[in-house]
Amino acid sequence: MTPTQNTTAINPLDHSYAALAEATTRVGEARAPLFLATLALSMMARYTDSAEALVLIAQAERLSAT
């Protein structure tokens, strides 16, 4: 199921994950790091408290190291 199809059967987080996976595939492996960095910066700009963003950065770093 693509994000543009009937999404009432899946929850919003699953829908977002699927959209992210599809977009990452469309931009391709070579451009995926730039795409993900741009997305991360855009999402971080929505936080009013930098502490929340710092927690997520640390979490992502830990998960990347495993």
Write 41-47 long-range contacts (CB < 8 A, 24+).
none
pTM over 0.75: no
The whole-number mean pLDDT for each consecutive block of 10 residues of the chain, a chain of 66 residues, reads 56 93 98 97 92 94 92
**Number of other residues whose CB lies within 10 A of the CB of residue 8:** 5
Torsion on CA atoms 47, 48, 49, 55, rounded to nearest 10: 0
pLDDT at 66: 82
Q: Is 28 exposed, middle or buried (0-12, 13-18, 19+ CB in 10 A)?
A: exposed
pLDDT at 9: 65
At 60, list the tokens.
């992502």
